Amino acid sequence: MSEVLSIRIPRELKRRIKELGDLVNWKEEIIKYLEERVVYYEKLKFLRKVHEIIENHPTLPRGSVVRALREDRDSH
């Protein structure tokens, strides 16, 4: 199923698009571009969420990882 997306563009741009109509399938070009941009912004949204989670995550005191590794090594 498909939907209609309507946008306004400058008259001069529309004229130039019509002149190239026999060379370019504008529908395919626009759909492909929109799909690529949607994927880009979905990734960006995901990365922002991950960054937010990392920023809000508590930090460990300095040296605690080194101490835990030494304790683990020494216990064997």
pLDDT in tens, 7-35: 999 999 999 999 999 999 999 999 999 99
1 inside domain: no
pLDDT, average across residues 55-65:
87
Amino acid at 28: E
Domain that holds residue 42: 11-74
What gap in Å lies between CA 9 and CA 16, rounded to an integer?
11
pLDDT, average across residues 32-56:
97
The residue behind tokens 């912004």 is 41
50 inside domain: yes
Q: What is the pLDDT of residue 71?
A: 87
* 75 has a pLDDT exceeding 90: no
Count of domains for the chain: 1
* 5 has a pLDDT exceeding 90: yes
Residue spans of alpha helices (H) in 4-25? 11-19
40 inside domain: yes
